[in-house]
Structure formats: structure tokens, C-alpha cells
């Protein structure tokens, strides 16, 4: 049974300032993969002072300066100005299906972390994406630890089941 909730909203970016007079607004995605965003998709916008609002994407375009989006029913600059700095979220169920052994970073927090022998070591609290490598932040009884996601540190990851198995020594103190 999967622990991944398809109805959960996952933040994917933040809206910037309006572009032009026809309701277009800049979108700054949190990562380069914007596959989850498409015309017709319902997204949640959330910002202090705005509260939460769900809108459908009417257009989505990428140009040399970034990504612009328009929303159904929001066709003027004045209509989208209140949306500036709103966080854009997509339902987890709207993400593209993954191949065998792949996972989304957003699926990992809460996963149990086990040692190669099956002993409980802690829980994933975050996945950090560094320019050179991703790292799991594992909450252990001794505090939070970063574990680089390398073949030598990872035995297996099962995002659906919420289990990460680390190799022996992956959490050892550096000497």
C-alpha cells in the first residue's frame, strides 16, 4: 500500500510580477523540472493576505527570460497583481508517473530510515538538492544528519512504502 497521497498539494514555484497587460505573470519554479505544469491543470495559489485560491492554467510558455503563465478568468494585469509572491502548488497525483527506482523529493519526508541489518536509524525530514549531489536529512536520536545520496550510502529507497535502507557506516561520524 502506498503512503503517497495523490490529493496532497506540493509547492512547485512562486509567482513573480505581471508581464504585459493581458493577465500573464512570471512563474519562478523551485526546480528545472516543470513537467507537472500544463494547460488545464488546477493549481493552488497561497499567500499571506490572499489566503488560498485555486485556478486553472490557461497558457504556459517558456521564453529566454523564464516561464509565464495565465489563468482562466484572470485576463488583466490588475487581476493578477494580487497574486504576486503567491506559492504555486500542484496535487501530487498530477505529477508525471515515475520509472522503477525513481522518486520525487517531496515523497521522502517521513520515510523510515533503516540500517542494512533492519534496525531503525531515524526518519527522513528533508531532501536537499545541492549542485553536485542530493542529500537526505535524517533525524536520529543524536540529531539531524545529512547523508549524501551515493551508491555507497544507499542500499535501497522505496518511496511508496516510505523506507530508506542505508549502508553500514552511512551515519558514522566523520573522523
Give me the DSSP letters along 85-100. Answer: TPEEEEEGGGSPP--T
Q: Which residues of 63-101 are buried (b: 16+ CB within 10 A; e: fewer)?
A: eeeebbbbbeebeebeebeebeebbbbbbbebbeeeeee
Q: Which residues of 132-145 are buried (b: 16+ CB within 10 A; e: fewer)?
A: eeebbbbbeeeeeb
Q: How does strand 163-166 pair with strand 24-29?
A: unpaired
Q: Per-residue pLDDT averaged across 37-62, rounded?
A: 93
Q: What is the pLDDT of residue 25?
A: 96
Residue 78 pLDDT > 90, yes or no?
yes
Residue 1 pLDDT > 60, yes or no?
no
Confidence label for 66 from pLDDT (cuts 50, 70 and 90): confident
Domains (range + CATH), the chain: 9-94 (2.40.30.60), 105-166 (2.30.30.240)
Question: Model-level pTM?
Answer: 0.79
Q: Per-residue pLDDT averaged across 69-90, rounded?
A: 94
Average pLDDT, the chain: 89
Residue 175 pLDDT > 50, yes or no?
no
Q: What is the pLDDT of residue 173?
A: 60
Q: How does strand 120-129 pair with strand 134-140?
A: antiparallel
Q: Per-residue pLDDT averaged across 113-128, rounded?
A: 93
Q: Per-residue pLDDT averaged across 35-52, rounded?
A: 91
Residue 140 pLDDT > 70, yes or no?
yes
Model confidence pLDDT, tens digit, residues 16-35: 999 999 999 999 988 776 77
Q: Per-residue pLDDT averaged across 35-51, rounded?
A: 91
Q: Per-residue pLDDT averaged across 101-121, rounded?
A: 90
Amino acid at each position: 500500500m502506498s503512503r503517497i497521497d495523490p490529493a496532497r498539494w506540493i509547492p512547485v514555484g512562486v509567482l513573480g510580477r505581471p508581464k504585459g497587460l493581458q493577465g500573464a505573470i512570471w512563474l519562478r519554479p523551485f526546480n528545472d523540472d516543470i513537467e507537472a505544469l500544463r494547460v488545464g491543470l488546477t493549481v493552488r495559489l497561497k499567500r499571506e493576505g490572499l489566503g488560498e485560491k485555486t485556478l486553472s492554467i490557461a497558457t504556459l510558455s517558456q521564453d529566454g527570460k523564464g516561464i509565464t503563465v495565465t489563468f482562466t478568468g484572470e485576463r488583466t494585469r490588475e487581476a493578477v497583481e494580487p497574486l504576486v509572491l503567491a506559492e504555486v502548488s500542484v496535487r501530487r497525483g498530477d505529477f508525471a508517473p515515475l520509472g522503477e527506482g525513481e522518486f520525487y523529493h517531496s515523497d521522502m519526508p517521513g520515510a523510515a530510515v533503516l540500517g542494512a541489518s533492519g534496525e531503525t536509524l531515524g526518519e527522513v525530514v528533508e531532501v536537499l538538492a545541492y549542485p553536485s549531489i542530493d542529500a537526505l536529512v535524517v533525524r536520529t536520536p543524536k540529531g539531524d544528519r545529512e547523508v549524501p545520496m551515493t551508491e555507497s550510502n544507499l542500499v535501497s529507497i522505496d518511496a511508496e512504502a516510505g523506507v530508506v535502507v542505508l549502508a553500514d557506516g552511512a551515519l558514522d561520524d566523520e573522523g
